[in-house]
Amino acid sequence: MTSKTLIKGGRIIDPAQGIDQISDLLMVDGLIEEINTSISKPRNAEIFNAEGLIVSPGFIDIHCHLREPGEEYKETIETGTAAAAAGGFTTVCAMPNTQPAMDNQSVVEYVLRKAKETALIRVFPIGAITIGRKGKQLSEMSELADLGVIGFSDDGDPVEDPNIMRQALGYSADLKLPIINHCEVPSLAEGASMNEGWVSNRLGLKGMPASAEEVMVARDISLAELTGGHVHIAHASTRGTIALIESAKATGIKVTCEVTPHHLTLTENAVMGHGKDDFQPLDNNAYDTNAKVNPPLRNKSDVNSMIESLNAGIIDFIATDHAPHSAVDKMTTFQDSSFGISVLETALGSLMTLVDKGQMEVNTLIKKLTSDPATFLGKNIGNLKNGTSGDITIFDPNATWTVDPQNFISKGKNTPLEGALLKGKIKATFFQGIKVY
Ligand code: DOR
Ligand code: ZN
């Protein structure tokens, strides 16, 4: 029997086709069949009333941590993808800092099998650059490429040795896959738990300077030029990083970058537990370990630079860096706490504050969550063209809600946004025509 879903009367925004209009959308057997101002209900079709709602391609997240195998107490592929679906995502790319790391065929095969068995949405694995993510010896990159990894990363750690990075970028050029680097010069960041600035001084915490990121970004750009490889800068967070990327792009070097929702909306003030910028402060909770993330939350000038460069197209897309941790990992001193924020379920609501304040068009936001990451992947997803997979996100841009991490589907309750009032709520997510949220 054929399955049909008719989404009626929503504002359909599909940046890939330049569509922004009130229309109906019909899915048949998991594929997009038609978009039209008025489609009459076919026999046996399910109807979804989307009046007052925005209908967009399913969001794509190039960077998240699903923790499986090895740290299933933090997250699993099943819980992480269910959380992603609740956040409007229909494709996620899983970082390889699992235990063991995704540095060989059997671990990647395990992840692919688990995804097939338990994931609600599409999962693409990312392979480790080096064995054990130790930065000493390259993984069997071409074997991993054969299994379908979408790129390589030692994320959580940088590739410190420039010669190893050079070799990895050489393979990148051959395999036509990006090297996704977590840029951080270890000796400049050693022992640091937040951004270096007035808040770190006030709180007596060791900070990492913007240069810890920028020095390695500059190095990687140089090595990309030398090798012809494609370097992708994970979670860009400083004004200086953007300047380097902008000039490298202008000279045709293969460099791309992403920014997270938190680096677009929060500053280091969140570590003080007050002045959470755009979000209502909950309390005066200094040393909030839920605001400890790497790269750290930066200052207002950096945040403004992130917003401007996303609008200007210098930043290629938004990625969550969803990094779920358990209570035990976070109920520690600030210094001892794990780095990371659980992001998937707050991404849209926090990003919509930029739209609400007139800092970003909703069409740009959707483009940066759909067609732009799809271009990076080189795959025919993230659009609503006829015949493509029925991956659709429906959200209410005006609905407000208060963040309560206890209601998260993710096992990671670690968010600095607890108690924040967000505007913009996911109403439904369809993956291959099936409602998964
Ligand atoms: O905050 C972070 N958490 N940054 C990273 O690079 C790694 C991640 C994690 O795996 O927890
Ligand atoms: Zn990461």
Tens digit of each residue's pLDDT (9 = 90 or more) over 68-100: 999 999 999 999 999 999 999 999 999 999 999
Confirm or reject: Cβ of 263 under 6 Å from ligand 1.
Answer: no
Residue 283 pLDDT > 80: no
User: What pLDDT does residue 70 have?
Assistant: 98
Residues designated as active site: 321
Confirm or reject: Cβ of 182 under 6 Å from ligand 1.
Answer: yes
Q: CATH assignment of 58-384+409-422, given 2.40.440.10, 2.102.10.10, 3.30.565.10, 3.20.20.140? A: 3.20.20.140
User: What pLDDT does residue 2 have?
Assistant: 85
Nearest-CA residue for ligand 1 atom 6 is 156
Q: What ranges do the domains of the chain cover?
A: 58-384+409-422
Question: For 141-187, what is each residue's pLDDT tens digit?
Answer: 999 999 999 999 999 999 999 999 999 999 999 999 999 999 999 99
User: What pLDDT does residue 71 have?
Assistant: 98
Distance 238 CA to ligand 1 centre (A): 17
Residue 286 pLDDT > 90: no
Question: For 123-151, what is each residue's pLDDT tens digit?
Answer: 999 999 999 999 999 999 999 999 999 99
Distance 115 CA to ligand 1 centre (A): 21
Can you tell me the mean pLDDT for 342-346? 98
3-state secondary structure string across the chain: CCCEEEEEEEEEEEHHHCEEEEEEEEEECCEEEEEECCCCCCCCEEEEECCCCEEEECEEEEEECCCCCCCCCCCCHHHHHHHHHHCCEEEEEECCCCCCCCCCHHHHHHHHHHHHHHCCCEEEECECCEHHHCCCCECCHHHHHHHCCCCEECCCCCCCCHHHHHHHHHHHHHHCCCEEECCCCHHHHCCCCEECCHHHHHHCCCEECHHHHHHHHHHHHHHHHHHCCCEEECCCCCHHHHHHHHHHHHCCCCEEEEECHHHHHCCHHHHHCCCCCCCCCCCCCCCCHHHCCCCCCCCHHHHHHHHHHHHHCCCCEECCCECCCCHHHHCCCCCCCCCCCCCCCCHHHHHHHHHHCCCCCHHHHHHHHCHHHHHHHCCCCCCCCCCCECCEEEEEEEEEEECCHHHCCCCCCCCCCCCCEEEEEEEEEEECCEECC
Confirm or reject: Cβ of 229 under 6 Å from ligand 1.
Answer: no
Count other Cβ atoms within 10 Å, centred on residue 335.
14
User: What pLDDT does residue 285 have?
Assistant: 78
Confirm or reject: Cβ of 323 under 6 Å from ligand 1.
Answer: yes
Residue 258 pLDDT > 90: yes
Distance 325 CA to ligand 1 centre (A): 10
Confirm or reject: Cβ of 97 under 6 Å from ligand 1.
Answer: yes
Mean confidence (pLDDT) of the chain: 96
Tell which one of 62, 95, 159, 293 to mutate to probe ligand 1, the residue whose CB is within 8 A of the most ligand atoms. 293
Distance 155 CA to ligand 2 centre (A): 5
User: What pLDDT does residue 196 have?
Assistant: 98
Can you tell me the mean pLDDT for 433-437? 97
Tell which one of 66, 294, 343 to mutate to probe ligand 1, the residue whose CB is within 8 A of the most ligand atoms. 294
Tell which one of 180, 338, 343, 344 to mutate to probe ligand 1, the residue whose CB is within 8 A of the most ligand atoms. 338
Distance 340 CA to ligand 1 centre (A): 5
Can you tell me the mean pLDDT for 346-366? 98
Residue 274 pLDDT > 70: no
Confirm or reject: Cβ of 294 under 6 Å from ligand 1.
Answer: yes
Distance 268 CA to ligand 1 centre (A): 17
Looking at ligand 1, which atom is closest to the CA of residue 339?
Answer: 1
C-alpha closest to that of 88 among 412, 342, 424: 424
Confirm or reject: Cβ of 315 under 6 Å from ligand 1.
Answer: no
Which residues are 318's β-sheet partners?
A: 259
User: What pLDDT does residue 347 have?
Assistant: 98
Asked if residues 389 and 31 have their Cβ atoms less than 8 Å apart, the reply is: yes
The percent of residues above 70 in pLDDT, for the chain, comes to 97
Residue environment code for 271-287, b if the CB has 16+ CB neighbours within 10 A, otherwise e: bbbeebebbebbeebeb
List Cα–Cα distances, 121 to 237, 333, 380, 430, in angstroms. Answer: 28, 36, 16, 9
The percent of residues above 90 in pLDDT, for the chain, comes to 96
